[in-house]
Structure 1
Amino acid sequence: MATAIGVVLSGVCFAQPAAQTSDAWPVRPLRFVVPYPPGGPLDSMARLLAEKAKSSLGQTIIVENKPGAGGNIGADIVAKAAPDGYTLVMGAVATHAINPWLFASIPYDSVRDFAPVVLVASVPNVLVLNKDFAARENIRSLPDLIEYARKNPGKLNYGSGGSGSAGHLSAELLRTRANIDVVHIPYQGAAPAQLALLSGQSDFMFDNLAASAPLIQDGKVIALAVTTLKRSALLPDVPTVEESGIRPFDIGTWFGVFTTAGTPEAIVQKLYGAYENALKDPAVIERLKLMGSNAELMSSTGFADFVRLELEKYKEIVKVSGAKVN
């Protein structure tokens, strides 16, 4: 009996410090990895959220840019980190849904190696057309563009930020769904692809809505459709691709906060609470609105389910595109 009591008491003693550790967390600064270069919308949002979330956590959140391999290098840092919640990553549709099918191999499993915390933003892509080409060929809608492509096979070309980019995948899905023959011109990033569209080197492209919105509003390009199931509040008069008759079609750019798999659920929920508060901050709401974000706050479990569905969806889309990175 004495032995049994000793075992029970020792269990209580061991359990108590563990609970206290969880309650006290965090006791040191957090590391927030951005797997892309500094200066982009994902990087600027990570920095804004880090600033807003630190008051809830009582610790500084240090943002580090670790670009390379389409985001795989930065994501892998968090996949291999200690499961204690101190290392986070701003994961995205590329790192968690596209790259597993695009790359011949990646060093992490986008589902098993991460604990999703919160979805930050979901931004539509938009099909934009060179305005001179649109005026010359009298193209005012996506059905007009498809009709032109069918009458002129192989004549229409589109630019993208590179093989496997969201713009490339969107255009290839359109090519397949609409049964048209169009030519892909890959560029080294979305910015040069956008310049090529403006100069008339390409006829159309699928661009990130936040990047294209100023050009659309200034009349420098023509917006034909957004790629998500719902219209964007930034472009309420622009129909979706599905509304234009091409189904099924649902592609968007999303990103959110992840930590390492195996992190205690209590810590994941502390992170969720801190970032939930940050996402309700007026400055963050305004930034998301300017990006054209359609994201709705979802639980960590809901975000995990969303990531699994996106991973399965992009398996088909990447296959359709024929894109591969060795």
Structure 2
Amino acid sequence: MNIRSRAIGKIVLCVSAWAALTSLLSSAHAQEAAFPVKPIRLVIPFPAGGPTDALGRRIAQTLGESLGQPVVVDNKPGASGIIGSAEVARAPADGYTLLFSNSDVFINVTGIVKKMPYDPLRDFAPVSLLARYGVAMMVRPDMRDAAGVPGLPGVLRAIQANPGKLSYGSWGPATYPHLIGEALARRAGAPLVHVPYRGASPALQDLLGGSIDIAFLGTAVAAGYAQKGQVRLVAVTGERRDPLAPDVPTFAEQGMAEALVRMSPWIGVAAPARTPDAVVHKLQQALVDALATQEVRRTLRDLSMEAVGSTPQAFGAQLRNDFPWMTDLIRAAGVVAE
């Protein structure tokens, strides 16, 4: 083969390669534009029945109606939410597998688990921050200190009087209730027994059954059980009282003003890292639209949650801001994996 023939052959190969690449890119763009063309899986890394699950199911229904494809809720509890979250991190980056979870899973667990199967800042593509919520501390109805002191001071005195005998349930190691429980023990100067569960719902059931003494739940749901006399509400997190439990003072009002109990945990949606921007944008817009519907607004109100709705960039900034702050807080509190 002469030089001219070889040159022509190389040109043909280059043109063919370019045509193939152009075809692949065009196909990819077409798929992104058509998204979604099949059902979407919404992974909730907690058991069914809790507040996060309740909101997730409502969002899934509304999102499916908006996108024209079913959005199927898949509860994957375990290891403080790590199991379900890791599954999403490993999923194809095509927008068909999403993580619906709270700040515990994105931030807190990373502060104590040395060998995490995912990096919350690198392995997820933030889609939207959806809501913020308050948490109520509940105790057994008969739990009071010997002198009958009410509220948080009475609980702290009861802990002091029974060192190592009273227990509290969390949603798993390093979750928000775990941090609050450890803060209570430090303030009381006496140990509390930590009983980690796979979510809020099983912890609540054991509190109702008398197996543990203290548990934590979204304020609105906890208030419903308190109205039936099944639990007693002691304090709520946040800067102000919850409108659905106006008679329950905040932790700060009762002298426990640490930043931990003044903050508001949040719920957000993320996709696997490297999910195409066009797909992320379409999902984000559909989620923000869902927050504006009457059905979702009613669910948020019933759960005493505040709608947010953010851009992917704003959600990413929230993650980057909260990560070092919460990690330092967890380490300063001496919370370790169990």
TM-score (norm 2): 0.79
Deviations 1:147-192 (A, max 9, x none): 6656x4727734213543432221212333x363242242645556
Instruction: Kindly provide the amino acid, as one letter, of the partner of residue 130 in structure 1.
Output: R
Confirm or deny that 1:272 pairs with 2:287. Answer: no
Instruction: Kindly provide the amino acid, as one letter, of the partner of residue 268 in structure 1.
Output: V
Confirm or deny that 1:113 pairs with 2:113. Answer: no
Instruction: Give the Cα separation in 1 of the matches to 2:79 and 2:315.
Output: 24
When residues 310 and 10 of structure 1 are mapped into structure 2, their CA distance, relative to the original with a 3 A threshold, is same
Q: Helix, strand or coil: the match of 1:28?
A: coil
Confirm or deny that 1:183 pairs with 2:192. Answer: yes
When residues 224 and 43 of structure 1 are mapped into structure 2, their CA distance, relative to the original with a 3 A threshold, is closer
Instruction: Give the Cα separation in 1 of the matches to 2:209 and 2:37.
Output: 53
Q: What's the offset of the Cα at 1:273?
A: 0.9
Instruction: Kindly provide the amino acid, as one letter, of the partner of residue 58 in structure 2.
Output: L
Instruction: Kindly provide the amino acid, as one letter, of the partner of residue 267 in structure 1.
Output: V
Please name the residue that 2:336 is paired with: 323
Q: Helix, strand or coil: the match of 2:107?
A: helix
In the alignment, is the contact (CA less than 8 A) between 1:242 and 1:248 conserved in 2?
Answer: no
Instruction: Give the Cα separation in 1 of the matches to 2:28 and 2:206.
Output: 58
Q: Which of residues 32, 51, 55 is equivalent to 1:41?
A: 51
Unaligned stretches of 5+ residues in structure 2: 1-10
Instruction: Give the Cα separation in 1 of the matches to 2:136 and 2:118.
Output: 31
Instruction: Give the Cα separation in 1 of the matches to 2:59 and 2:326.
Output: 28
When residues 305 and 239 of structure 1 are mapped into structure 2, their CA distance, relative to the original with a 3 A threshold, is farther
Please name the residue that 1:228 is paired with: 238
Q: Helix, strand or coil: the match of 1:223?
A: strand
In the alignment, is the contact (CA less than 8 A) between 1:224 and 1:239 conserved in 2?
Answer: yes
Confirm or deny that 1:122 pairs with 2:135. Answer: no
Instruction: Kindly provide the amino acid, as one letter, of the partner of residue 245 in structure 1.
Output: G
Equivalence map 1:41-80=2 (5 Å)? 41-80=51-90
Instruction: Kindly provide the amino acid, as one letter, of the partner of residue 67 in structure 1.
Output: P
Instruction: Kindly provide the amino acid, as one letter, of the partner of residue 121 in structure 1.
Output: A
Please name the residue that 2:97 is paired with: 87
Instruction: Give the Cα separation in 1 of the matches to 2:327 and 2:215.
Output: 22
Aligned-pair identity in percent equals: 31
Moved more, 100-109 or 309-318: 309-318
Instruction: Give the Cα separation in 2 of the matches to 1:202 and 1:31.
Output: 35
When residues 130 and 261 of structure 1 are mapped into structure 2, their CA distance, relative to the original with a 3 A threshold, is same
Deviations 1:18-37 (A, max 9, x none): 54443322233222222233
Q: What's the offset of the Cα at 1:324?
A: 0.5
Instruction: Give the Cα separation in 1 of the matches to 2:203 and 2:109.
Output: 21
Q: What's the offset of the Cα at 1:252?
A: 4.6
Instruction: Give the Cα separation in 2 of the matches to 1:110 and 1:77.
Output: 13
Q: Which of residues 134, 151, 154 is equivalent to 2:163?
A: 154
Confirm or deny that 1:29 pairs with 2:44. Answer: no
Confirm or deny that 1:249 pairs with 2:279. Answer: no
Q: What's the offset of the Cα at 1:301?
A: 1.8
Q: What's the offset of the Cα at 1:45?
A: 2.8
Q: What's the offset of the Cα at 1:259?
A: 0.5
Structure possessing the higher radius of gyration over alpha carbons: 2
Please name the residue that 1:104 is paired with: 114
Q: Which of residues 140, 143, 153 is equivalent to 2:150?
A: 140
Instruction: Give the Cα separation in 2 of the matches to 1:21 and 1:202.
Output: 51
In the alignment, is the contact (CA less than 8 A) between 1:156 and 1:183 conserved in 2?
Answer: yes
In the alignment, is the contact (CA less than 8 A) between 1:173 and 1:317 conserved in 2?
Answer: no
Q: What's the offset of the Cα at 1:146?
A: 4.0
When residues 236 and 57 of structure 1 are mapped into structure 2, their CA distance, relative to the original with a 3 A threshold, is same
Q: What's the offset of the Cα at 1:90?
A: 1.2
Moved more, 125-134 or 106-115: 125-134
Moved more, 26-35 or 195-204: 195-204
Aligned length: 318
Deviations 1:216-264 (A, max 9, x none): 2234433222122343222133222223332223355432211111122
In the alignment, is the contact (CA less than 8 A) between 1:119 and 1:256 conserved in 2?
Answer: yes
Q: What's the offset of the Cα at 1:52?
A: 0.9
Confirm or deny that 1:297 pairs with 2:309. Answer: yes
Q: Helix, strand or coil: the match of 2:134?
A: strand
